[in-house]
Each structure stands twice: as C-alpha cells, then as structure tokens.
Structure 1
Amino acid sequence: MIRNIIDLFKQGGVGRLILKDLFFIFLIGGILFGISGGWPPLVAIESESMEPNLHQGDLVFVMGSERTGDIVTKKEVGEYYKFGDKGDVIIFNANGDPGLAVIHRAEFWVEEGEDWYERGNPNWVVGKNCGAMFNCPAPHDGYITKGDGNERYDQAQGISGPVKSSWIKGTAEIRIPWIGYIKLIFNGVVGNFI
C-alpha cells in the first residue's frame, strides 16, 4: 500500500497533485486542531437561529472547551461582546446527544431545582409561570441558552435541558462568512433546523 502511494507520487501528474492536496488538507486540519484543542475545529452554521450575528452558511472556528476557560454568560457580563451581543456563543450537544450539536448563546446559569422563570427575559419564556415551561424547575445544573434569532430560550421550548458543562464542545471564536455552504451542500443540510 505504502509502496503504491510512493510510486504514485514519483510518477507525477494528477496522482502527485492529489497527494499534495491531501497532505495540505491534513496539515491545515492538524494545525487548526492543535490551536483549537477540539474536533472539529470548524463548524458550519446550518440554520438561521443565530441571525443577525451568525448566518446560515458561515464557517465558525471553535475553541475546544478544555482551552476556553469559564463560559461568560449574557447576564453576568459587563462589556464583553461576542458576535454582536453580550456573552459567549457555545457549541454543545443538546441533552448530551453527540448527534445533535447546537451553536447558541449562553444566557445564564441555573442550579438543579431552581425556578428560573423570573430570572429569564419575560419575552423569551413560555407561559405564566415555571410550571408552564419545559425544564423548569431546572432538572440539573447548567446553562440556559438561546439562539440570537429565536423567540424563546432553548430550554423553555424543550430543545435541550440546561446545558451541562460536559455537553459543551467549545466556544465560537471567529466567523468566516459563506464558506460553510460548501460543507452544507456536500452534506445535503441546507435549511432551517434549530
């Protein structure tokens, strides 16, 4: 197998170009992984839930959760802005499911059993009290999250329970407009999801 690859490289032409391109892709991927500490180091925004600050088709560089330090929530922040609003934008597995990654803003932290209805923005909760919402009282400690373009907290709608620290893959750090469409088109994932 290795001998065939070496022979292909020595022959030049298309085989050599393909091997060089693959080497370059793996090199860049390795560098990005080394910097971010997480995999994948880049994610494509699949829906419009973070508009107007992150758009469907944007490619976002993710700093792995081991390297981000404490998550800064929208409620506890002074003048710390990330992607046009206060607080960190986190990438997490909804309800701990590795097949359902979400990229939304960390709004505030809740403790297990907490009635967080009054702490929330009245425009972003559901019903007239805690009992009328999903995940209230909080079933466990975690972050309350919301897509900047969504009308309600994720937890109030039942998208995810409060986001445990162990569910967080990292924080969004840099936005590259439009490039994520390449991945979305190849994966057949262009549309609204969360």
Structure 2
Amino acid sequence: MIRRPRERFGPAAAVLVVALLLVTVVGTWPPLVAVESGSMEPSVERGDLVVVTAVDRFPWGDPVGSDATNPPTRLDGAGDVVVYTSPVDPRRPILHRVAFRVTAGEDWTDRADPDLLEGADCTDIATCPAPYDGYVTYGDANGEYDQTAGIAPIVHEELVHAKALFSIPYLGFLQLGVDAAIARFGVVPAGVGIVATVSLVSGTGAFLVGRVREGWRTRNDRKGGRRPPR
C-alpha cells in the first residue's frame, strides 16, 4: 500500500505540534523530564515521565521547601520538587525536593533534619555556612541532603529552571531510549531514525485498523444479505 507523504508523516508532525504547544504552556524546555534514577522513590520511580513548568510561570513563585508552614504538595510529598543543574555534573539535571531556602553566611544545619545530616555539623560540610543564597535539596529515597552527600552544593536560584507538576508512570523509558540513541548516533541520525520509526508504526497501525474495519464491514454486509463490494 502506497501512502501519500501527508499520511506518512502526519503523525510525526502532530507530535511536533503538540510538543511546541506544551512548551508554550509550561514555558520551559524540555517540558517533560524522564527520571533516570530511583532517588525520588516511591513518589517518582525510574522510567516515569515528569511534566514540569518554568519556575516563574503563573501562578508559581519561588520554590517552597518542605519546612514551610503550609508547603505545597508535589509528587506525594511536602515541598516543591525542582529540576536544577548541578555544577558537579552539568550534563545531568537533577530532580529533587526543596528542603528549605538559605541565605549567604547562614549555618543552615540549625534548621536541618538531624536524620538527613548523618551526624555531620556545619564544620563537616563544604557548603556550610552557605556561600550564597540558595536552596538545600534532597531526594525522597536518599538518606541525606544533596549538600552533605556531595551531590551538589547549595543550589543557586539561577540553576533552578523548572518545577515538577506530576508524573506519568513508565512513559519516561521512551525518552530515555531517545536520549540513548542521540548519545550513540548523534542528533541528525537519531532524529531521522525516530521519524522513520514513528511513520512506520503509524502506517502499520493505520493499515491494521483499516483491515479490521473492512472485515467488520464485510461481515455486516453478509449478515444483511448484501454482497461485499469487489
């Protein structure tokens, strides 16, 4: 069966349009984040797809920590979950929960959860006192703060580029697969392969749906005493 280009590439174009609309609404790129690790389990698991929005997008404000009087509820926990770029490894954004905001020169261990300090005090932590204004963060499944575990220093507000809204189970594996393909083959070859795969899958799906419809139509015609069209 020969399909016209519009029919072949229509689904891929539709996906692109939806992606552009989503970026317009949430105000950040990428608007979807695939979770690569289990640091936020059980609220977010590896392979989940998290929908995020820009921090300054209405009606949001600055990230709110879990220590707030009435903290927002994000991903089955108290406090905002943010995506930030760690200076330790800028290639891999981190999706973790905000514990509280700190100011430059503050001994923030006075406000910290002792269970997450692992017995450390301010003299044991490289980023205490806080060298600048920012945020102390942690993964729900981790036993300590990012700043005491060496995952990241105090998270400067300029490094926080998105807030998490909600997660979709398992769909993140698709994005992880795309990222792996880009890392291995490059952007252009991977993009061509993805478009070809989407077109092939959509074409096969349309063909199968057409055959099923044709079968049902033929069956109904026979029941009604009519000959199926030749």
Normalising TM by the smaller chain, what interval? 0.7 to 0.9
* Mapped contact 1:73–1:107 kept (Cα < 8 A): yes
Output the aligned Cα RMSD: 1.9
Please give the TM-score of this superposition, normalised by the length of structure 1. Answer: 0.84
Which of 134, 140, 156 is residue 142 of structure 1 equivalent to?
A: 134
> Per-residue displacement from partner, 1:152-192 (whole Å, max 9, x unpaired)?
10011121111111111110002111100112234349xxx
- Aligned counterparts, 1:29-68, within 5 A: 29-67=19-57, 68=60
Please give the TM-score of this superposition, normalised by the length of structure 2. Answer: 0.72
Structure 2: gaps spanning 5 or more residues: 182-230
The CA deviation at 1:95 is 2.7
Report SS of the residue matched to 2:21.
helix
The CA deviation at 1:128 is 3.8
Structure 1 residue ranges, 4+ long, deviating more than 4 angstroms after superposition: none
Higher strand share: 1
- Aligned counterparts, 1:92-171, within 5 A: 92-95=84-87, 98-171=90-163
Structure 1: gaps spanning 5 or more residues: 1-11, 190-194
RCO (CA 8 Å, sep 6+): is it higher in 1 or 2? 1
The 3 A distance-change label for structure 1 pair 156 and 128 is closer
Q: Distance in 1 between matches of 2:35 and 2:69?
A: 25
Residue in 1 that maps onto 2:17:
27
The 3 A distance-change label for structure 1 pair 14 and 50 is farther
> Per-residue displacement from partner, 1:21-51 (whole Å, max 9, x unpaired)?
2210111101110110000000001100000
Larger radius of gyration: 2
Q: Distance in 2 between matches of 1:111 and 1:84?
A: 27
Which of 75, 79, 83 is residue 91 of structure 1 equivalent to?
A: 83
Say whether residues 1:71 and 2:59 are aligned partners.
no
How many pairs are equivalent?
Answer: 178
Write the letter of the residue equivalent to 2:111. R
The 3 A distance-change label for structure 1 pair 153 and 132 is same
